[in-house]
Structure 1
Amino acid sequence: MPGGMFRRAVAARAVRVAATGGPVLASGAGARVLRGRCGAGRSAADVARLLERLGGGFLKAGQLLGTRPDLVGDAAAAALGRLQDDVAPMPPSAAATVVRSALGTVPDGIAAALAAAPVAGGAIACVYRAEVDGRGVAVKVRRPGAAAAIAIDLAILRWLARTAAYLPPFRRVPLPGIVDELGVLLVRQADLRAEAAGLRRLRRALADLPGVVVPDTVPGLCGDGVITMDFVDGLDRSCAETLPPSVRREQTALLVRAVYRMLFVEGLAHLDLHQGNVYFRRDGSVALLDAGLVCALDERSRRAFTEFFAGMIRGDGDACAEVLVSTVRAEAGGTDLAGFRRRVRGLVVEAGGRAAGDFDLAGFCVRLFDLQRRHRLFADPRFVIPMTCLLTLEGAVRRNHPALDFQLEAAPYALEGLLRPAAAPD
């Protein structure tokens, strides 16, 4: 899209967002949801419907908020959780057009599936169950215009981030850099050809973790806007609520181990661990179905984050402080690095050895950024990405296994990551 047309599209989108969201925001519903005070009333449902109408990046934000009932409350999480896999589908003709453009023809089994209702619908794509040559498959089809909508919303978010960066609470917090990093991932999420490659990488990375299921892609039936993969049975978002607590706890621990292996060993940060992409199954396994928002960390970032977390496991605040100092940029005019190290040491000692129910990762991150801000240090946005991955995971852990020791579970994977030979520079 030419620059002038894009700017006009951004302006029109901003006007639509203000006009559509204004009445809901004026009612106070949005604020009540973010404060976790919407109760069982209409507020949460109103906000979910608003985000669904707005689509694009706003719908994506609603999906992520739905993973954190501890922050927004149970009613809001339930309402926003619908956005994870139950968004209104695209017309069958639009889905068929996307598949035909990607594959050249629409195989009979897939054509029949596209004419029926999808089994799931999210912000970027809808998923259909089909039979191809006797093989049960899931066909993920990108919504028309999804990539353009995300790009336009990111332009709005970048402007908001640059503006917020001038406010005292956000100074030296790398909001524009964080939005840029996430923006690259969100735009890439609309590239289903790249996601198919990411799914194969994720499957290889987790192949030696029994009980973790990552579907295989189907050669010849993936393209620009389409992924065809093995259909995974037994997917029910409500299943986790009906499983015995002991099974849920083991599945939660299994999911945490999978994430730690991705982060510390493979250098992969999965930022979309909501219930539309992660399923607890009745046989005790955990299914990971999506790789659209998986960020590959560069070797320096992977090792720095692993060293930081290893320091937390040991309660070694000095080591954690040194890692942070190596990743930040000091503001001109000097800073009190000795004071920064001392306060990081105290923060790490305070957090050490806490179970998930007692360890507030979101609060820890806020305090860490505040320490950097007060000591005139600028955080590296690439260091924020793996923290964001753990924040998306924390909600499921608090809900299903609050006694889990986040740090103890990380120990073997952090050690493996530190012993791993350095990869070639990216």
Structure 2
Amino acid sequence: MKITAIPQLYRNLKRWRQILQVLRRYGLADWLSHFPSLPFRDLLKDRHGVPLTQHSREKRVRMALTELGPTFIKLGQLLAARPDLVGTAMADELKLLRANVTPDAPDVVRRILEEELGERFSQEIAELQDTPLATASIGQVHAAELTDGRHVVIKIQRDGIEDIILQDLDVLTGLSQLAEHVEAFAPWGPAEMARQIMPMLRRELDFEREQQNMLLFDEFFAGDADVVLPEPVSELCTRRVLVMTRLDGPSVAKWDETDRDLRNALAQQVTRCYMRMLFDHGVFHADPHPGNLLALPAGQLGILDFGMVGRIDDRLRETIEEMLFAISAGDQAMVLRLVKRVGNPPPDLEDAALSVDIGDYLATYGRQGLGKFKLTSALNDLTEILHRHNIKLPSQSALLLKMLVSLEGTLSTLNAQFDSMSIMRGFVRQAMARRLSPRRRFRQARRIYLEAENFLEFAPDQVLGLLEQMRRGNISLNLEHRRLSPSVNRLVLGMLASSLFLGSSLLLALQVPPLLFPNKPFLGIHQISVVGAAGAALSLMVMLRLVLAIGRSGHLTRENDD
């Protein structure tokens, strides 16, 4: 850990101690679970009195994250969308994470509103319901009525939650740096993962960003009468308070299961809406769980909670389109090429083994009819293959996977009788047609021309500058020797041991005092230099350690280098 991190560590010392106590408790339970014969293995118990060793490892991780609080719950929810990193079993367990929080008291809510809105709180808000409509880890939602008669909902950041999350993010940074040196966690890339997750959590603390997201999606669906979004009341919105118009209607989770036609129509609206976000705009609402989707009385679809929004660039979107076509066509070589393109394969990737796994995957899903295709199962199996071969997906794909899995879970609650994959394939066809359109080709040619013009304009000056530096002798070449440090260390240590042995031998030969048995011999030992004997023994121990280290590394002879 760096010296500059010491003040941060001291500032968060209390929180560090709390987190380490929880991790030590669950880590000890995980260790004890491997020894069923120990008499004291059931001493650690959960809040219901059940021994922690009786739970699976994945469940213990989920319970630990729940006990650590809202920041780590959010972390677990984001990791649930990365089965390529944590595996499908862990991801499925982390999907069960829920924040069980107690809402802030009404007087606390009113105090926050007065701090954020000032006089506008009493001038603009005529009535505020004390009982929240919903409570989450970061904010809670209250119904209200404005003085002009509009019915609104107010999303208020929970008291003190920003300080807690920012403190936890500092601690999380330190934990990720420590985890980089733990063999079990190093393949996950915890430091890089923390760098990706922290901006997401910070953005969720800023309700003004959510307001901007609402305005952006309102622009996307301006001409669509079947999709309705809440409108923010901009003059009453701040960083900690978001006021928006209220949408009245039952959520998808409470939709009448007996009305099959309405359920089918709603399910098709949901699918078309999210496919339009993905393939037309590259920006999507990342949390389509049933509570955020409303069935409005006029047969329209209402969407709530734009705090978590995902974005994909054109390259990833085009790769997704190509992969869907390759899977449906059973093109194994193309799928293999696309997986390696979109992921981050390790240097020691075995192409043959990956090709076999992809062939089995296509044999399972490539021949299924559209009506039988299960998106969640297909995604889980694909990410399991990536996890098995240590292929990491780009960070922007995490929210995309989360959205697709949540979307199919929402559609399954509707129990609708329609083919969602046929709608998805229709959007993919439209996207592929747009890629081949003359308009896109013209834009692509214009971009290539501008890049070539920029290159031809600046490249000659850079080449001339490089030649001038070579003429002046200012060019330096830096070489990095990989895996050379252990060899150099062993060489230096061997030379020191040899020098120590040689010097100690001279001290023994010259009988340099202080001496052992200077007057009378003991078992034939007479006038032995103490310093020389100690030096000789130490040098022999160092040499023995070097021989053992070289033997363990397998590079004692040239034949072992293969």
**Which residue does 1:43 correspond to in 2?**
none
In structure 2, stretches of 5+ residues that fail to align are: 27-44, 81-88, 448-562
- Match status 1:336 vs 2:359: no
Separation in 2, partners of 1:387, 1:368: 11
Identity over aligned pairs, percent? 20
**Which residue does 1:265 correspond to in 2?**
280
Structure 1 residues 121 and 29: alpha-carbon distance in aligned structure 2, compared to 1, 3 A threshold: farther
Separation in 1, partners of 2:275, 2:157: 29
Separation in 2, partners of 1:130, 1:225: 17
Larger radius of gyration: 2
In structure 1, stretches of 5+ residues that fail to align are: 37-46, 66-70
- Between 1:11-20 and 1:210-219, the stretch displaced more is 11-20
**Which residue does 1:27 correspond to in 2?**
50
Structure 1 residues 102 and 272: alpha-carbon distance in aligned structure 2, compared to 1, 3 A threshold: same
Which of 130, 134, 137 is matched with 1:116 structurally? Answer: 130
Separation in 2, partners of 1:306, 1:95: 46
Using the size of structure 1 for normalisation, the TM-score is 0.75
- Match status 1:106 vs 2:106: no
Report if aligned partners of 1:161, 1:176 keep a CA contact under 8 Å in 2: yes
Which of 16, 24, 29 is matched with 1:11 structurally? Answer: 16
Separation in 2, partners of 1:220, 1:279: 26
- Match status 1:94 vs 2:108: yes
Report if aligned partners of 1:24, 1:30 keep a CA contact under 8 Å in 2: no
Structure 1 residues 88 and 7: alpha-carbon distance in aligned structure 2, compared to 1, 3 A threshold: closer
Which of 238, 241, 250 is matched with 1:226 structurally? Answer: 241
Give the alignment of 1:247-262 within 5 angstroms: 247-262=262-277
Report if aligned partners of 1:313, 1:411 keep a CA contact under 8 Å in 2: no
Report if aligned partners of 1:269, 1:385 keep a CA contact under 8 Å in 2: no
Secondary structure in 2 aligned to 1:330? coil
Secondary structure in 2 aligned to 1:227? strand
Structure 1 residues 162 and 299: alpha-carbon distance in aligned structure 2, compared to 1, 3 A threshold: farther
Structure 1 residues 405 and 236: alpha-carbon distance in aligned structure 2, compared to 1, 3 A threshold: closer
Secondary structure in 1 aligned to 2:374? coil
Separation in 2, partners of 1:144, 1:318: 54
- Pairwise CA distance, 1:345: 4.4
- Between 1:337-346 and 1:54-63, the stretch displaced more is 54-63
- Between 1:13-22 and 1:275-284, the stretch displaced more is 13-22
- Between 1:27-36 and 1:204-213, the stretch displaced more is 27-36
Structure 1 residues 407 and 117: alpha-carbon distance in aligned structure 2, compared to 1, 3 A threshold: same
Aligned residues: 399
- Pairwise CA distance, 1:292: 0.5
Which of 414, 421, 446 is matched with 1:400 structurally? Answer: 414
**Which residue does 1:42 correspond to in 2?**
none
Secondary structure in 1 aligned to 2:299? coil
**Which residue does 2:311 correspond to in 1?**
296
- Match status 1:213 vs 2:225: no
- Pairwise CA distance, 1:283: 4.0
- Pairwise CA distance, 1:326: 1.1
- Match status 1:140 vs 2:155: yes
Q: Which has the higher contact order (CA 8 A, sep 6+)?
A: 1
**Which residue does 2:552 correspond to in 1?**
none
Secondary structure in 2 aligned to 1:141? strand
Structure 1 residues 411 and 137: alpha-carbon distance in aligned structure 2, compared to 1, 3 A threshold: same
Structure 1 residues 300 and 218: alpha-carbon distance in aligned structure 2, compared to 1, 3 A threshold: same
Give the alignment of 1:13-412 within 5 angstroms: 13-14=18-19, 23-24=46-47, 27=50, 51=66, 54-58=69-73, 88-108=102-122, 111-114=125-128, 116-132=130-146, 133-153=148-168, 159=175, 163=179, 177=192, 180-236=195-251, 239-242=254-257, 244-332=259-347, 334-337=348-351, 339-352=353-366, 353=368, 359=374, 361=376, 363-375=377-389, 377-401=391-415, 404-412=418-426
* 1:233-281 residue CA offsets vs partner (Å, 9 max, x unmatched): 1245653255513322321222122222222221124332223322234
What RMSD in Å do the two structures reach over aligned CA positions? 4.4
Report if aligned partners of 2:310, 2:396 keep a CA contact under 8 Å in 1: no
Using the size of structure 2 for normalisation, the TM-score is 0.59
Separation in 2, partners of 1:389, 1:282: 26
- Between 1:374-383 and 1:289-298, the stretch displaced more is 374-383
Separation in 1, partners of 2:14, 2:428: 45
Separation in 1, partners of 2:197, 2:418: 28
